Amino acid sequence: MNDLSQAKTFDEFMEGIWRQNPVFVMVLGMCPVLAVSVSAVNALSMGLATMFVLVCSCGLVSLLRKLVPKEVRIATYIVIIATFVTVVDYVIQAVSLEIYDALGAFIQLIVVNCIILGRAEAHASKHPPIAAMVNALGMSIGFVIGLFALGAVREVLGAGTLFGVSLFGPNFQPWVVMVLPPGGFIVLGAWLLLFSALKRRQEARLAAPGGGHGA
Amino acid sequence: MKASVEIRSAPHIKGPRSVEQIMANVVYSLLPICAFFVYQYGLSAAASILVVTAACLLTERAFVRTGTQAGSLSDFSATITGLLLALTLPPGFPLWMGAVAGISAIALGKALFGGIGFNVFNPALVGRAFVQAAFPAAIATYTPSFLPGRFTEFIPSSLAWPLMAPADTAAWLKAMQYDAMASASPLARWKFEGFVTPAWDLVTSLAGHMAVGPSPLLIVLCGAYLALRRFMDWRIPVAVLGSAGLSALIIYAAFGTKYPDPFFMLFSGGLVLGAVYMATDMATSPVTPRGMWLYGGLIGVLTVMIRYYSGLPEGVMYAILIGNAATPLIERVTQPTPFGKGASIHARKSASYTMHPDYISREEASAKTPKKRFLKNKPKKT
Amino acid sequence: MSTPIAPTPPQATPATSLVKTLGLVSTVCGLIIVGAYQGTYDAAAANRRLALERTVFKVIPAAKSMAEWQATPQGIRPAGGETVPGALKFYVAYDAEGVLAGIAAEGAAKGYADTVRILYGYSPVCQCITGFGLVASKETPGIGDKIVTDKAFLANFEALDVKLNAELSALANEVKVVKQGTKTKAWEIDAIAGATVTSRAVGKAINDSAQLLLPKLAPDIGKLQKREP
């Protein structure tokens, strides 16, 4: 297991970003995705917090994988994930109270984010630490991209700014709906539409004669 | 949408009526109302109708082109959506927001469900609900009708640049010596100031500078034409107006002074337009006669409840959308008793149709597909 | 992802081993949490103080430093130590020379969507409200949130009269929110047209809080004149 070729590692890394993107393909962890993607900064900090928890807990789960008996593995994973969520909670408070207030309960709720438990159970518990962390990193980058895609669109339309920088001048008319919950669903729907259209085209190209190697 | 094959049991009556014909007639009946709207508000109203309808048609075309939606442009359904949507928006609504409303009406209200006939909600109201949520300030900004320069000059808010906030109409009106009161809709004036506009002024919409839509009288007349030619079922508007009037009357009788009289309730806001043209949308209203009464009644009561007890001055839109959502349920509980099965005989669980069970609609889960009488590919004689 | 997990033969893990594993994991995790808490405590506390100061300084522009006090039925005293039930918290702000610049307190009232929580500044010199800032609100963006942007509305709070009555038991005149353009008295607030409910919430929050706090504050205001060393 330890002599993973570089290509395989890269594949593991890319899995979460494209093929199994947690937001656009697996549609997991929708609760934070919809709730905190009101602005690009919120979305990005939520994504980074999740990334920290995901990578650290996958690393630790993978380290302990031979030690933990099957019967108590879920309990162990939850304890580990909860630990890192608490750490992230403290760190965000220390870094910026504004972000902490904006993210609210959703920082603590990272603990129930199914992406993390799913990765710990499906991948980290079966792979060595490096591979597990690479895969977790890919997944969380995919999650950050998803969150950012939503947050950017909602902030641009909902406030006329991106990262707090005004894009359209002072006379911009904000689309109130975009910072309200329905806006999250509508923008997510639009992204899913785009993503699946892209995927379908890619598959059609591969399926076309001469496009790929066999069906 | 011309269906070429239809499997039904006899007897058949071949009607000359097609979806296109019904829709075209609805458009004709809407034209006088649109003309009145333009007469009231001039250039801005005309531009608004054009832009909103064009946005609807272009969006419809895009979705039909990409093959994600049934129907075609020539069935006029998108035109109806556009005209109705424009009539529900304030005349000085910024044109770019009108375009957003038109696009979201077709995209979210219609294409999402698969096009004409499949939509769950009235597309025009979905479009309006979207812009109501997106631009709550602009959609509440009305201007008085019959302004002197309305045919030569736009209402300034109409011409806002895309994505930009509209110009301040209050200042514009002040420069023209109109007070802010004249530019509030009668419902808003009642809700926030307790002023009740006389009902007769509302019925004709002709009494001076008021922020009202086209005359309810005209809408009822146009609706009557449709109902008489059987392009529309008269039960729904009657049920909506009846139940709204009745519930307003009950509340008025019970706590008189606090609430306006039922006539004000009936003729203010978009109740008549909603009852006649939006609640009756064929795809989103029940088909059973008893269901129509129930559906209309629900909408009427909800409208009055929202107007009286919520933060919003107008409730027709949400009432109809809720009614649309309830439609499948209403149809289920109001299935007519099949001929020959009196109330005394309990219908068996799987047999509530007069027709042979083999021939009931294919959407019905328990239905069996008719047995094929012919082989699909006849064995070739060799 | 989709590789089926081969059914493993049932193997009984002894209970002691389960407990040991969980104990070990919990210990490691506990250590990590304690470390993180210790490492971030100071920065987080500093952040919280800064955020509070920023809000207080916004409603009392002259303020340069502040102290937290509480008003109890027995009188006022600096916050800290044990909290008395029913005590009202307020913030005393001092200017650069350490002279009382104003008092800030929180108020809350039901708005259009949820409770609107505000922090208002009170000036004992003019016995009036000198400004307010939003602590938390879920009012409709674009309508209800005009309360902090609408200049005409904010002008109401430049010198909103909250004088006490002769017995110092309540406000002489209740703070009232009136329809836009009809403000005639110094204790009335002109509502924002179209955001009446939120405007009313602000007025009610100030009124409710001032009615409780100011009578307790009035007899002891002298205690606050100078910053304690």
Q: Is the pLDDT of residue B300 over 90?
A: yes
Query: Under 8 Å CB-to-CB from C150, ≥6 apart: which residues?
Result: C192, C195
Chains touching chain A at 3 or more Cβ pairs under 8 angstroms?
B, C
The pair of structure tokens assigned to A179 is: 């910072």
Mark yes or no for CB contact A90/C21 under 8 Å: no
Taking CA atoms, B108 is separated from B54, B60, C60, in Å, by 17, 11, 48
Main-chain phi, psi angles of B300, to 5 degrees: -60, -50
Mark yes or no for CB contact A172/B134 under 8 Å: no
Higher-pLDDT residue of C30, B376: C30
pLDDT on residue B362:
46
- Cβ atoms of residues A100 and A41 within 8 Å: no
CA atoms C187, C193, C196, C202: torsion sign: negative
- Tell me whether residue C5 is in a domain: no
- Tell me whether residue C208 is in a domain: yes
Q: Which domain holds residue C21?
A: 13-55
pLDDT on residue B357:
46
Mark yes or no for CB contact A79/C17 under 8 Å: no
Give C167-171's long-range contacts (Cβ < 8 A, gap of 24+): C168/C215, C168/C218, C168/C219, C169/C215, C170/C211, C170/C215, C171/C207, C171/C210, C171/C211, C171/C214
Confidence of residue B12 (pLDDT cuts 50, 70, 90): low
Q: Tell me: do C73 and C41 sit in the same domain.
A: no
Q: Is the pLDDT of residue B156 over 70?
A: yes
pLDDT on residue B358:
47
Confidence of residue A53 (pLDDT cuts 50, 70, 90): very high
Mark yes or no for CB contact B133/A180 under 8 Å: yes
Q: Does A179 touch chain B (CB under 8 A)?
A: no
Residue-wise pLDDT tens digits, A82-124: 999 999 999 998 888 888 878 877 888 888 888 888 888 888 8
pLDDT on residue B47:
92
Confidence of residue C11 (pLDDT cuts 50, 70, 90): low
Residue-wise pLDDT tens digits, C140-150: 766 777 787 77
pLDDT on residue B332:
86
Average pLDDT in chain B:
80
Mark yes or no for CB contact B163/A176 under 8 Å: no
Q: Tell me: do C74 and C27 sit in the same domain.
A: no
- Tell me whether residue C17 is in a domain: yes
Q: Which alpha helices (DSSP H) does chain A contain, by range?
A: 6-14, 30-36, 40-63, 73-95, 97-103, 114-122, 129-159, 176-179, 181-207
Confidence of residue A17 (pLDDT cuts 50, 70, 90): confident
The pair of structure tokens assigned to B366 is: 């328990």
Please compute the mean of the pLDDT values over residues B3-11 and round it to a whole number.
56
pLDDT on residue B352:
47
When scoring A90, A139, A173 by the number of chain C Cβ atoms within 10 A, the one with the most, hence best to mutate, is A90
Residue keyed to tokens 């809080």? C209
Residue-wise pLDDT tens digits, B184-235: 778 877 777 777 777 777 887 777 777 788 888 999 999 999 888 888 888 9
Q: Tell me: do C93 and C201 sit in the same domain.
A: yes
Confidence of residue B239 (pLDDT cuts 50, 70, 90): very high
Q: Tell me: do C138 and C190 sit in the same domain.
A: yes
Confidence of residue A215 (pLDDT cuts 50, 70, 90): very low
pLDDT on residue B345:
47
Smallest CA–CA distance from B170 into chain C, residue: C193
Domains in chain C: how many in total? 2
Q: Is the pLDDT of residue A166 over 80?
A: yes
Lowest mean pLDDT among B14-18, B64-68, B291-295, C60-64: B14-18
Residue-wise pLDDT tens digits, B356-378: 444 444 455 454 555 545 555 55
pLDDT on residue A154:
92
pLDDT on residue C9:
57
CA-closest candidate to residue A91, choices C41, C30, C48: C41
DSSP state letters, B196-253: PPPHHHHHHS-SSS----S-HHHHHHHHHHHHHTTSS-THHHHHHHHHHHHHHHHHHH
Q: Tell me: do C38 and C71 sit in the same domain.
A: no
User: Which of B135, B137, B192 has its CB closest to that of C196?
Assistant: B192
Q: Tell me: do C43 and C88 sit in the same domain.
A: no
Q: Tell me: do C151 and C192 sit in the same domain.
A: yes
Q: Tell me: do C92 and C139 sit in the same domain.
A: yes
- Chain C hits for B135, Cβ within 8 Å: 142
- Cβ atoms of residues B117 and B93 within 8 Å: no
Question: What SS3 state is found at C143?
Answer: coil
What distance in Å separates the CA atoms of residue B241 and residue C111, rounded to the nearest whole number?
A: 33
Beta strands C100-110 and C88-94 are: antiparallel
Residue C12, number of CB atoms within 10 A of its CB: 7
Return the half-sphere exposure (C-beta side, CA atoms, 13 A cut-off) of residue C12.
3
- Tell me whether residue C229 is in a domain: no
Residue-wise pLDDT tens digits, C100-138: 888 888 888 888 777 888 888 888 888 888 888 887 777
Taking CA atoms, A41 is separated from A31, A94, A150, in Å, by 17, 17, 11
Distance from CA of C175 to the nearest CA of A (A): 31
* Number of inter-chain CB pairs under 8 A, A vs C: 72
User: Which of A20, A80, A97 has its CB closest to that of C25?
Assistant: A80
Residue B237 preceded by cis peptide, ω within 30: no
Taking CA atoms, B373 is separated from B370, B377, B378, in Å, by 9, 12, 12
- Cβ atoms of residues B368 and B357 within 8 Å: yes
